[in-house]
Structure 1
Amino acid sequence: MSIEVGSTVEGVVTGITNFGAFIELDGGETGLVHISEVADTYVKDVSNYLKMKEKIKVKVISIDDDGKIGLSIKQLDNKKKKFKTVPKKSFEDRLSDFMKESEQRQQDLRRSLEKRSGQSR
């Protein structure tokens, strides 16, 4: 199996470091998933996301002249996320929520000020 930039391949986690994870690909070649390519969120510890001998799918993002293979998990996940639709509130709904919350805060502030000054309605 030839490994090409842009292809999705399977591999096994063979090493976890503070800067990423080494993945053994089919054919015996090894690539690196840099810590910045593990997930869309901040990754402090790669071992929170990957385990030794875990079989995973990765995307090949680079192959250097000296044969180093750069891999990504998050770019593979991004491809899947493009097709998901996330329901969002319309502008009018968000504006309505804001106005209700704002009115509630103003009422709370008025009550607080009335209590401080000794006034009551």
Structure 2
Amino acid sequence: MQYHIGQIVEGKITGIQAYGAFVSIDENTKGLVHISEISDGYVKDVSNFVSLNDTVRFKIIDFDEKTSQARLSLKAVQPNRFRKERKHQKMGTVPVMRLGFKSIQDKMDQWIEEAKEEKV
């Protein structure tokens, strides 16, 4: 099949690296989605967005006819694609603060007296 820049294609994720994901579009055509083309937001880990053997739609942003290799973009097709659900650890609740301006005001006279006694 003949591919061109701007075309939307479907491909299968065949490999994931720190810098992007490899895609098989058909028997003869392979592609790479660079990490910068995964999402509009910050991408720390490509595998938070795609997994091996996922079938995903991409936009061809460059195509080399001699090698049948494509540069692909996921964010051009799905700009608001959400990350895969991650397990979040509950951090717990913030303890109730018992010290504040009011309690400092209540203690201030006592602390001043103690400081005076220490000087003597």
For normalisation by structure 1, the TM-score amounts to 0.61
Q: Which amino acid aligns with 1:37?
A: E
Asked if 1:76 corresponds to 2:90, the answer is no
**1:21-58 CA distances to partner (integer Å, 9 max, x unpaired)?**
00000243110000000011100000010000000000
**1:60-91 CA distances to partner (integer Å, 9 max, x unpaired)?**
0002475331000001124x9xxxxxxxxxxx
Asked if 1:43 corresponds to 2:24, the answer is no
Q: Percent of counterpart pairs with the same letter?
A: 41
Q: Which amino acid aligns with 2:76?
A: Q
Q: How many residues align?
A: 86
Q: Which amino acid aligns with 1:2?
A: Q
- The higher radius of gyration belongs to 2
- The unaligned stretches of length 5 or more in structure 1 are 81-111, 117-121
Q: Distance in 2 between matches of 1:28 and 1:64?
A: 12
Structure 1, 57-66 or 5-14: larger mean CA deviation = 57-66
RMSD (CA atoms) = 2.5
- Partner secondary structure for residue 36 of structure 1: helix
Greater per-residue helix proportion: 1
For normalisation by structure 2, the TM-score amounts to 0.61
Q: 1:7 aligns to what?
A: 7
Q: Distance in 2 between matches of 1:76 and 1:8?
A: 8
